[in-house]
Amino acid sequence: MLDRLEGVEERFLEVEALLSDPKIAGDQKLYQKFIREHSELSKVVEVYREYKQVMESLEESRELLRDPDPEMKELAREEIEQLSQDQERLEDRLKVLLLPKDPNDEKNVILEVRAGTGGDEAGLFAADLFRMYSRYTEIRGWKIEILSQHMTGVGGVKEIVAMITGQAAYSAFKYESGTHRVQRVPATEAQGRIHTSACTVAVLPEAEDVDIHIEPMDIKVDVYRATGPGGQSVNTTDSAVRLTHLPTGLVVTCQDEKSQHKNKAKAMKVLMARLLDHAIQEQNDTISAERKSQIGSGDRSERIRTYNYPQGRVTDHRIGLTLYKLESIMAGQIQEIVDSLTTHYNAVALQEGGM
């Protein structure tokens, strides 16, 4: 591990030198690439340098154990005890930092929320879930933009697709994919009985041109008149767009914008993200059962979380986490869940890697 850390620090110093090179500074694309690499490496180097300081201090304290003065020896023992704890803490942190990075962690997110079983109540819960994610996005200082939405007549959501833009957005959202279940008394239920319904959430990393290459001949483009609530252009111009990826049969539609060009651009973003996700899922299907269990959170057929309103309880079934904070969680305060899931899957990865 120490050899790897030395290599990371050497690369960090190389990148720092490159960033001060006028030729690099003049190429914005290359400069931004090195800025991102510098930022990632600095997270490791900062902890590694602290670790080296602790090890030096430990060596000095152990030398003091040879001092004939009993008081000095006692101080050295106390110092060693504290520094040994720091050493263990920093080693654990460094092991996590050296785990292979998910190449998608730094990317923006395509978030898809769909109503599942439960009729109108499922649509209302889908709207609540999307509101929760929107508020979390605001708390993190990120940006959210709706790409397409299909509402129900009672104020619910049949399907909503949005882009979340922010540094490492995917790393925070990637464990949200799956089936979310709600248990509550619906507003439409006269008898006051608890109703169970569900929604599915899909979290896709935004695809870049380097990730997915689409041949123009593989895309069938249909335009048609938008339907439903909208501005003056609704039902008067062919602004709605349907894209069909012929090799896979994936279909994406968008009609939210008055401009056909804007609708096509939004639909293409979603299509590219779905194609990237399709490729990732195919890759995951080829790996071992042990690795599959590690990334099982990506299975959207898996019931991952229950929101129980009568008890004010939220339970994540994958890690056995139960929080009696439903109101604040639905208001977007989901960082505790995000952190717990990240810690759990990092621990699984460390165990799988034998670190």
Q: How far is CA 151 from CA 127, 132, 195, 253, in A?
A: 9, 17, 21, 14
Name the nearest CA neighbour of 207 among 147, 279, 263: 279
Task: Break the chain into its structural domains and give their ranges.
Answer: 2-97, 109-208+290-353, 216-284
pLDDT band at 148; cut points 50, 70, 90: confident
CATH class, range 216-284: alpha beta
Q: How far is CA 59 from CA 2, 3, 72, 93, in A?
A: 17, 20, 15, 21
pLDDT band at 232; cut points 50, 70, 90: very low
Record the pTM: 0.66
Distance between CA 288 and CA 305 in Å, rounded? 25
- Provide, rounded to the nearest whole percent, the portion of the chain with pLDDT above 70: 87
Q: Does residue 101 carry a pLDDT above 90?
A: no
Which of 104-113, 222-231, 343-352 ranks highest by mean pLDDT? Answer: 104-113
Mean pLDDT to the nearest integer, 15-42: 86
pLDDT for 306 equals 95
Is CATH 1.20.58 the classification given to domain 2-97? yes
Q: Does residue 221 carry a pLDDT above 70?
A: yes
pLDDT for 243 equals 85
Distance between CA 181 and CA 161 in Å, rounded? 19
Predicted confidence (pLDDT) per residue in 57-79, tens digit? 999 999 888 888 888 888 989 99
- Its CATH architecture, for the domain 109-208+290-353, is 2-Layer Sandwich (3.30)
Q: Give every CB contact of residue 48 below 8 A, 6+ residues apart in sequence.
A: 5, 8, 9, 94
Distance between CA 198 and CA 126 in Å, rounded? 8
Q: Give every CB contact of residue 304 below 8 A, 6+ residues apart in sequence.
A: 175, 176, 177, 178, 179, 180, 297, 316, 317, 318
